[in-house]
Amino acid sequence: MNKEVAAELDDRAYEVGKFIHQLSKVQDDHFEELYKEAQMKGWVKGFGVDESGVDLARDWLFDYCFNDFNQTFSEYCEARWVK
């Protein structure tokens, strides 16, 4: 079976991919601003680091913002502390 891709799709797919990467940068920038603000204002305390040196407050906030946005961050943390 011969496969074929139209040049128009190449152009459109490139533009969509470029847009998705731009969105990713905006997301990352917003997250970093949030985390810096949380640190400066003392909004998160006592998380520490894991055995690999990972900042757990940052790690949990990242996971919450990007993966588990169905509850408040406080509720998310409480659910993880129970485990």
pLDDT digit string, tens, across residues 29-45:
999 999 999 999 999 99
Q: Return the H-helix or E-strand segment holding 69.
A: none
Percent of the chain scoring above 90 in pLDDT: 83
Kindly report, residue by residue over 3-16, the tens digit of the pLDDT.
999 999 999 999 99
For residue 27, count other CB atoms closer than 10 A to its CB: 12
Check: CB of residue 57 under 8 Å from CB of residue 40: no
- The reported pTM is 0.78
Dist. CA 48–CA 68, nearest whole Å: 21
SS3 of residue 5 by DSSP: coil
Q: Is residue 2 domain-resident?
A: no
Domain that holds residue 18: 7-82
Q: Give the pLDDT of residue 83.
A: 56
The number of distinct structural domains making up the chain is 1
Q: Is residue 34 domain-resident?
A: yes
Mean residue pLDDT across the chain: 93
Q: Is residue 1 domain-resident?
A: no
Q: Give the pLDDT of residue 39.
A: 95
Q: Return the H-helix or E-strand segment holding 57.
A: helix 56-67
